[in-house]
Structure 1
Amino acid sequence: MYKHTWKWTICLLILSLLIPSAAFINAQGSEPELEVKSVQAGLGQSAAVEIVINRPKGLKTFEFTLHYDRDALEIADRDVAQGADVKGWMFEHKVNASGGTVRIAAVHVDGFNSNTPAAIAQLTFKAKKSGVKPFKVTDLKGFVELNTPADMTSKAGTFTVQGVLWTVKVSVDNKATQEVVIDDGHVKRTTIRVDAPNTSRSVRLELEQETMQKIASSGKRLAILTPIGSLEIDSLDLKQLGNSRAEIQIEIANGSKQKPARTIVITADGKEIESFYGKLKLSIPYERANAETNQGIVAYRTTGGQRSIISQSAMLDGQVLIAATEAGTYEIGYNAKTFTDAANHWSQPNIEFAAARNLFLGVGNERFAPDQSVTRGMFVTVLGRLLGIEGTATVNAFQDVDADAYYAPYIAYANEHGIVNGVGAGKFAPDRQITREEMAIMITRFMDYAKIESSSTNESRPFKDQEAISVWAASSVRQLQSAGILSGKPGDLFDPQGYVTRAEATKVVRMVLEASLL
């Protein structure tokens, strides 16, 4: 069912009002050209087809129908993505799988302001039949003003499907192996999707050395999707396995408190690999109990009967997502924390989320002090806990950081890895309250170090006090504002030298943590 019928209707209504019976005229002196790029993929794999408009200056509306070979290619509405250069446009699309067409329409009051080629859409097709499959564009229309149509042209490429399947051996519940097609069509990841009964207890993949080398050399992540849980291995970890014959197993384990648990076993040439340089991301299906809250649901790693909480874990969209650097057994748990002075506070869910993962602690007597300011030492400690850094003594580069202070090892680690700098003269000022702009630059450096990607979900607009933001923090503020991690205060102000409260810090930390899992 098409979910945005009203938007689609508006787009078509606007376009129909714009379309006169007269022939199109050239309003710009150079014709806008719709171009469908050519791609190729192996049989059973997917590839993203880029659609751009060349010389688009002045164009305010466009619509067209893309025809594809429905017997050879497969696409659904979810596989159509809005292009980066039309993010602020009213953009609608509709896939007709039975007819082999994709209809796209877009409208913007200002339109394109330059002739730089504009990325307007990305369509991900799965290849089902080998051969060269041409695209075709029909019903192409565009306007630069209400009664001024653009004389648009089109250039459609091809989808070349290579006839050799790239497969991996998979066994479910230790039964006979089956060949599963590897999908290498996505820009950032290689995917292996295992179809198995929901009652399955284990899935094992066997990847020959040549296959591992091919996956590792692509620089992409490897995503293994199964009904009992999914695993994503980043490119850094894949390089550890790239010259080996690898086996990867996801298995249902027995949780200590009747909660779901999964064991991940990864071997290279028969030798089990426990620790990795990069990040493993595990997702476990979970149905939350009525008495549970999302913020209290966490994950533990169990070793030798001992459980340790995984700070980078969260319940999102019916899955518990976990980010770790080790294989082993991971169990879902419930670690709800509440505070009397946080009840009905605007940041209550964030406070309980951070406390459940032991990122923030209370101040005693079941209180959190949500409106109390955060010190520089405390904030760096939270970032260290988020990374899973052990709070053990270490040599510190700052003369005002006492070796016995709770924040000493976290400041030393953060300084060593470029997350924080001092305030000058060999000092860090750990007990001074942290400002909003200081927090911004620490967060962006932390995300760079932890390889956390921040997608631009919001338009970055200058704050009214933009000039008050220090030069060294301005780009960090823009990045976090665009990612939706930092927002302003009433009156469209950022208040860069204002102090960060504990409640505000929990919100920012939660958003960074959830970004690390996606």
Structure 2
Amino acid sequence: MTNGTTYTFTVQARNEEGTGPSSIPSNAVTPYKPSKGGSGGGSTTTTPASTDTSVKVLVNGKVENAGTVTTTTKGNQTVTTVKLDQQKLEQKLASEGYKAVVTIPVSTKSDIVIGELNGQMVKNMESKQAVLEIKTGAAIYTLPAQQINIDAISEQIGRNVALHDIKIQVEIAKSTEETVKVVENSRKKGGFTIVAAPIDFTIKGIYDGKAVEISKFNAYVERLMAIPEGIDPSKVTTGIVVEADGTVRHVPTEVIVIDGKYYAKINSLTNSTYSVVWHPLEFKDAENHWAKAAINDMGSRMVVSGVDNDMYEPDRDITRAEFAAIMVRALGLKPGEGMNPFEDVKVSDWYSDYIETAVAYKIISGYGNGNFGPMDKITREQAMTMISRAMNITELKAELVNGEIEKLLEGFGDGVQSADYAKRAIAACVKSGIVSGRSDNMIAPKDNITRAKVAAIMQRLLKKSKLI
């Protein structure tokens, strides 16, 4: 037999009288060769509070006794760990087929809830495009198995370690007192109200005392944070990420209702500490503006900012640096996540961290001569090029068949004036409904774009991507 391969067995009786019928297949068995050192051996600082008991797990909504639950204490925190049974899970996934949802519901009020699998289970779930869902009273974490990226974890731990020996823990935890203090200080500086207490979301691969944390994903991952009873759901503006240094950033969020209970649905490309806030903003100079709703919405969500406390300058043309910064904020990306390849962007510039992230996520590429032109006014075709790249991140599809690009551009009186590099991007933005022509049936590719228009475009991008 081959290690890591799942087998079933049948029994058939044979004698001089003939051959009897085959038995029904046995339970699936997967042999493994333990890696050197094993996955245990380390000491633990936790204190058992209860013995292992079976726990009900849902697979596509069907109840299965496919795990055990243990509650322990770690310092002054209670920890509930649900460990999935590999054999039972694999049998169920085999019968359910592709894209099954495995839900671990935890009703106990623990400070930390952990769903535990091994690397081979994750790999098998990944091959079937399965989704893992951890559900507590405070949050629901929905995680496609492929986003755990077991291959990356294995690479860091060591390829010689069998996947079966790598422990994978998906954790939802009440933030520590120290983190709560950081969030409170951020609240005072940011002028927002905390609606839901901060929660930490973590994924770890563990082997022989070594832990590898997965903090980034290559697609938006959804987590729901429960809105506390008595809170008006209309007083929820957005979800935020709170970094260890107190830096706060918006993450795309919408309020939804499930079985009569309100949740903030947060879509993010990272793991971190999350909270939900109320942060209403109204800019005085947008009061009678056509883009008032979009400007105030994006301002409240911390995507756009004013020139001072209550002025936005909606009709001022926007610069390339401003546009890149707003795009990074709108997508909920962390500034400073990459390298700066441009000669005309200095580390001391306020926008340098945003430029680095925009480059890392392939939203911007510059002029091709080593410069970005941060203070240049951005043109509509340049903006649409960046937007189309952002659509790749949000997975907003605008499939363009043969001849459709030309047809869409021909619908505008000046479509032929579009630069060759921008034509596909313009067509994608038009087809997806993010950008429309002007009232005179012009797309105006060479014109500049205003701060008001940018706020409206960002709102449309997030809505059509179903992120807010």
TMscore range, shorter length? 0.5 to 0.7
Q: Could you give the per-residue CA deviations for residues 257-294 of structure 1, whole angstroms, max 9, x where no partner exists?
A: 56243232433236554442425432213269449555
Provide the rounded CA distance (Å) in 1 between the counterparts of 2:232 and 2:112: 28
Match of 1:229 in 2: 139
Question: For residue 427 of structure 2, what is the amino acid of its counterpart?
Answer: R
Structure holding more strand per residue: 1
Which of 358, 362, 365 aligns to 1:414? It is: 358
In structure 2, the CA distance between the partners of 1:218 and 1:410, relative to structure 1 (3 Å rule), is: same
Which of 409, 417, 437 aligns to 1:468? It is: 417
In structure 2, the CA distance between the partners of 1:376 and 1:516, relative to structure 1 (3 Å rule), is: farther
Q: TM-score, normalised by structure 2?
A: 0.61
Q: Could you tell me whether the CA contact under 8 Å between 1:444 and 1:476 is conserved in 2?
A: yes
Q: Could you give the per-residue CA deviations for residues 394-441 of structure 1, whole angstroms, max 9, x where no partner exists?
A: 75434x445543234433553465432333544433222212221111
Provide the rounded CA distance (Å) in 2 between the counterparts of 1:453 and 1:402: 32
Match of 1:348 in 2: 292
1:362 paired to 2:301: no
Match of 1:497 in 2: 446
Q: Could you tell me whether the CA contact under 8 Å between 1:170 and 1:206 is conserved in 2?
A: no
Alignment gaps of 5+ in structure 2: 1-58, 72-78, 155-162, 185-193, 258-262
Match of 1:238 in 2: 149
In structure 2, the CA distance between the partners of 1:170 and 1:357, relative to structure 1 (3 Å rule), is: farther
Q: Could you tell me whether the CA contact under 8 Å between 1:394 and 1:408 is conserved in 2?
A: no
Alignment gaps of 5+ in structure 1: 1-124, 130-164
Helix, strand or coil: the match of 1:341? Answer: helix
Q: Could you give the per-residue CA deviations for residues 444-463 of structure 1, whole angstroms, max 9, x where no partner exists?
A: 22343xx3200459998723
Provide the rounded CA distance (Å) in 1 between the counterparts of 2:103 and 2:134: 6
Provide the rounded CA distance (Å) in 2 between the counterparts of 1:408 and 1:503: 23
In structure 2, the CA distance between the partners of 1:488 and 1:175, relative to structure 1 (3 Å rule), is: same
Which of 469, 475, 485 aligns to 2:434? It is: 485
1:446 paired to 2:390: yes
Question: For residue 314 of structure 1, what is the amino acid of its counterpart?
Answer: T
Q: Could you give the per-residue CA deviations for residues 16-55 of structure 1, whole angstroms, max 9, x where no partner exists?
A: xxxxxxxxxxxxxxxxxxxxxxxxxxxxxxxxxxxxxxxx
Structure holding more helix per residue: 2
Q: Could you give the per-residue CA deviations for residues 207-226 of structure 1, whole angstroms, max 9, x where no partner exists?
A: 13331221234466544455
1:309 paired to 2:248: yes
1:330 paired to 2:278: no
Match of 1:375 in 2: 319
Trace 1:110-259 onto structure 2 (pairs within 5 A). 167=66, 169=68, 174=80, 189-195=99-105, 197=107, 203-218=113-128, 222-225=132-135, 228-233=138-143, 235-239=146-150, 240-241=152-153, 243=163, 244-253=166-175, 257=194, 259=196
Provide the rounded CA distance (Å) in 1 between the counterparts of 2:417 and 2:271: 47
How large is the RMSD of aligned CA atoms in angstroms?
Answer: 4.2
Match of 1:423 in 2: 367
Aligned sequence identity (%):
19
Question: For residue 374 of structure 1, what is the amino acid of its counterpart?
Answer: I
Match of 1:268 in 2: 205
Q: Could you tell me whether the CA contact under 8 Å between 2:202 and 2:214 is conserved in 1?
A: no
Provide the rounded CA distance (Å) in 1 between the counterparts of 2:113 and 2:338: 42
In structure 2, the CA distance between the partners of 1:486 and 1:200, relative to structure 1 (3 Å rule), is: farther
In structure 2, the CA distance between the partners of 1:176 and 1:454, relative to structure 1 (3 Å rule), is: closer
Provide the rounded CA distance (Å) in 2 between the counterparts of 1:481 and 1:390: 29
Question: For residue 453 of structure 1, what is the amino acid of its counterpart?
Answer: E
- Quote the offset at 1:369 in angstroms: 0.9
Provide the rounded CA distance (Å) in 2 between the counterparts of 1:313 and 1:421: 24
Question: For residue 458 of structure 2, what is the amino acid of its counterpart?
Answer: V
Q: Could you give the per-residue CA deviations for residues 142-164 of structure 1, whole angstroms, max 9, x where no partner exists?
A: xxxxxxxxxxxxxxxxxxxxxxx
Which of 443, 454, 459 aligns to 1:510? It is: 459
Q: Could you tell me whether the CA contact under 8 Å between 1:171 and 1:205 is conserved in 2?
A: no
- Quote the offset at 1:337 in angstroms: 2.4
Match of 1:110 in 2: none
Match of 2:42 in 1: none
1:285 paired to 2:229: no
Q: Could you tell me whether the CA contact under 8 Å between 1:183 and 1:191 is conserved in 2?
A: no
Q: TM-score, normalised by structure 1?
A: 0.56
Provide the rounded CA distance (Å) in 1 between the counterparts of 2:306 and 2:105: 45
Helix, strand or coil: the match of 1:370? Answer: coil
Question: For residue 379 of structure 2, what is the amino acid of its counterpart?
Answer: T
Provide the rounded CA distance (Å) in 2 between the counterparts of 1:413 and 1:315: 24
Provide the rounded CA distance (Å) in 1 between the counterparts of 2:345 and 2:386: 18
